[in-house]
Amino acid sequence: MVSYRTPLGRARGLGSAKHGAGHWISERVSSIALVPLILWAIYGVIRLAAGDYGFAVHWIQDPLNATLTVLTLAITFWHMHAGLRVVVEDYIHKALTKSGLLIVNLFVCGLSGALAIFSVLKVALSGGAF
């Protein structure tokens, strides 16, 4: 197949989007990571739903549970930010509204993700004591 791209364009690898395939790849990589993590999380939710507060604290204190929970949260909020970003970019074409929604999306995902991870770490490290 003949390539019509210039050598410089191919070397830069940025394409028509001007920022390369980084966003696309990060969406795929995060989704690959989330397949096992979400299946594990569903198992965790079933166990947590059957237990009370004491069980939840005990469960999250386990290093494996704490680590996987933090990883699931971080990658989930990363992935959902990437996903809604594409939705906004596809449907909103007014520059100001689009920029505003993209910033809201980033801030909502960043804030709620950080709050969730910090809360998990606090309970995991302190054992639920105040």
Partner 1 sequence: MARPTPGQAPSPWSHTEGIGSAFVDTPPAALKSGATSSPGSSGQEQMTDAPQTPSKGTRREPPISPHLLTGGLISPPLWRWHITMWTSILHRVTGCALYVGALIVAAWAIALSQGPDRYAQFKGLLGSAPGKVVMFGLTVCLFYHLANGVRHLVWDTGHGLDVKSANASAVLVLAFAAAATLAVWGIAGMTGAL
**Cβ neighbours around 34 below 10 Å, total:** 18
| Tokens matching residue 120 | 């998990």
Q: Is 44 in the site for partner 1 (CB under 8 A)?
A: no
x/- site string to partner 1, residues 4 to 23, per CB under 8 A?
A: --------------------
Alpha-carbon distance of 95 to 76, in angstroms, equals 27
Least separation in angstroms between residue 85's CB and partner 1 is: 11
Which of 57, 68, 71, 74 lies at the binding interface for partner 1 (CB under 8 A)?
Answer: 57
| Beta carbons within 8 Å of 129's beta carbon, 6+ residues apart | none
CB 47 within 8 A of CB 5: no
Least separation in angstroms between residue 100's CB and partner 1 is: 17
68 or 84: CB nearest partner 1: 84
Q: Is 35 in the site for partner 1 (CB under 8 A)?
A: yes
Number of continuous H segments (helices) and E segments (strands) in the chain:
5, 0
Which of 14, 17, 21, 42 lies at the binding interface for partner 1 (CB under 8 A)?
Answer: 42
Q: Of the candidates 5, 26, 7, which has an alpha carbon nearest to the alpha carbon of residue 80?
A: 26
Q: Of the candidates 28, 21, 19, which has an alpha carbon nearest to the alpha carbon of residue 75?
A: 28
Footprint on this chain of partner 1 (rule: CB under 8 A)? 28, 31-32, 34-35, 38-39, 42, 46-47, 49-50, 52-54, 56-57, 60, 73, 76-77, 80, 83-84, 87, 108, 112-113, 115-120, 122-123, 128, 130
